[in-house]
Amino acid sequence: MDGAAENGPVPLYRDEAVVLRTQKLGEADRIVTLLTRRHGRVRAVAKGVRRTGSRFGARVEPFTQVDLQLHEGRSLDTVTQAETIAPYGERIASDYGRYTAGTAVLETAERLTAEEREPSLRLYLLVVAALRSLAEGEHTPTLVLDAFILRALAIAGYEPSLDGCARCGEPGPHRYFAVAAGGLVCAEHRPGGAATASPPAVALLNALLTGDWTVADVAADGTQREASGLVAAYLQWHIERGLRSLRLVER
Amino acid sequence: MYEGAVQDLIDELGRLPGVGPKSAQRIAFYLLAADPVDVRRLVTALTEVKDKVRFCTVCGNVSEEDMCRVCRDPRRDLSVICVVEEPKDVVAIEKTREFRGRYHVLGGAISPIDGVGPDDLRIRELMARLADGDVTELILATDPNLEGEATATYLARLVKPLGLRVTRLASGLPVGGDLEYADEVTLGRAFEGRRAIDI
């Protein structure tokens, strides 16, 4: 086995990570799914964290940004040390709307990293930014979630076309949103079943994708709901299997 | 692969939580070599637990009758309800002998990532109990982890219009531990919840 030889390199590595998900394992352990800064998505065992006296129990809870030392294993790594960088979890869980939106952020991030150990620095930074924004309550939680989904999809290569027609490129504004075509389409290339998108909703989607919060923060409730519906449909199309947490997001 | 009955037993044991294929094999061969009386006792215990045990109609705890032992006990304080996630949490709190009220078992915690929402827990039943008007305090004793905290936040917001006293179990330093090993979140909570020493 690599690194097992005497005096050979110890298979330990250190990285920053956001905890995406935890699952119970055996009596007192947990498997934690991490999105790391340099190693992409990693699954690791955190031993004994469910005991009340655990040294790093609270540090490997979802939403926490941690500095970790991991021991490389055959299928799962093991967490050997953990230091908190930012405990976003506490402030997110203290508000139900933030919690449900935040969970959908984590599940989206997990689903968009198809392969384990494939580095995705941009997604990591985006997740951290979304969690920080949720924890600080800067914007409406659902807007943060929609902005995150749009930008995460853009990083994954699925940026929706929100200006020109997704089929022919004819400059907009266009009124029809076709999920399968990749965004807004002109009247001529409108496929059957394409949704209509109101001009304010299109403006909101653009603002969310580019980070123009002065526009996004003042969007009417109805516009926000319409945009959320389009974002959800677009996400579901690209990740195939539905996102479980999306249906429970408090709107 | 073993023949018939032995393999069936290994397969069934392997479906239990925390039992892998090797452990299943070890348990199966232990049972094969064990005294038939011991095995029969195990069989009886298994069938009885399925036949006799139900869930308490009031609090959702495991019980052998319509109502569990705690809910039947007339000496328990009717004005306080302690909300927990699982029946095993009831046992843990009962061991402290500190609590004289009654319980409400939710059957889990809100965890959207696992597809568990408020409607999947016994929250409607809790609201029905609170509507009776006997209860003056609700203690939220869900686990001190993220899902438990979020569930407590949700419940606190839900029952706020009822005007009850809603409390959350304290978080802090474990008795018998060293301060330097406490994580930041726990130590922060311990500071937040510090109390004056009366001498």
Residue ranges and CATH numbers for the domains of chain B are 4-52 (1.10.8.420), 74-168 (3.40.1360.10), 170-199 (no CATH)
User: Do B107 and B85 contact (CB within 8 A), yes or no?
Assistant: yes
Tell me what pLDDT residue B18 has.
80
B19 Cα to chain A: minimum distance (Å): 9
Q: With an 8 Å Cβ cutoff, are B174 and A61 in contact?
A: no
Q: With an 8 Å Cβ cutoff, are A244 and B113 in contact?
A: yes
> Which amino acid is present at B44?
T
The beta-carbon neighbor of A62 closest among B18, B146, B181 is: B146
Q: How far is it, in rounded angstroms, from Cα B66 to Cα B81?
A: 19
Nearest CA in chain B to A242: B115
Tell me what pLDDT residue B177 has.
77
Element housing A223 (H / E): helix A221-239
Tell me what pLDDT residue A10 has.
67
* Angle at the Cα of A156 from the Cα atoms of A40 and A100, rounded to 5 degrees: 75
Mutate to test the interface with B, among A88, A110, A245 (most CBs of B within 10 A): A245
Task: Look over chain A and give the mean of its residue pLDDT values, rounded to a whole number.
Answer: 91
User: Do B129 and B137 contact (CB within 8 A), yes or no?
Assistant: no
φ, ψ at A249 (rounded to 5°) = -70, 130
Give the residue among A54, A52, A45, A43 at the shortest CA–CA distance from A26.
Answer: A45
Peptide bond before B21: cis, by omega within 30 degrees of 0? no
The beta-carbon neighbor of A96 closest among B157, B177, B184 is: B157
Q: Which residues in chain B are contacts of A59 at CB distance < 8 A? A: 183-185
Q: List chain B residues with pLDDT less than 50.
A: none
User: Do A18 and A63 contact (CB within 8 A), yes or no?
Assistant: yes
Q: Which residues in chain B are contacts of A111 at CB distance < 8 A? A: none
Tell me what pLDDT residue A6 has.
59
Q: How far is it, in rounded angstroms, from Cα A94 to Cα B151?
A: 9
B114 Cα to chain A: minimum distance (Å): 7
Q: How far is it, in rounded angstroms, from Cα A108 to Cα A235?
A: 9
Task: Look over chain B and give the mean of its residue pLDDT values, rounded to a whole number.
Answer: 92
User: Do A35 and A124 contact (CB within 8 A), yes or no?
Assistant: yes
Model-level pTM?
Answer: 0.87
Q: Which residues in chain B are contacts of A100 at CB distance < 8 A? A: 112
Give the residue among A57, A68, A55 at the shortest CA–CA distance from A17.
Answer: A68
Q: List chain A residues with pLDDT less than 70.
A: 1-10, 53, 57
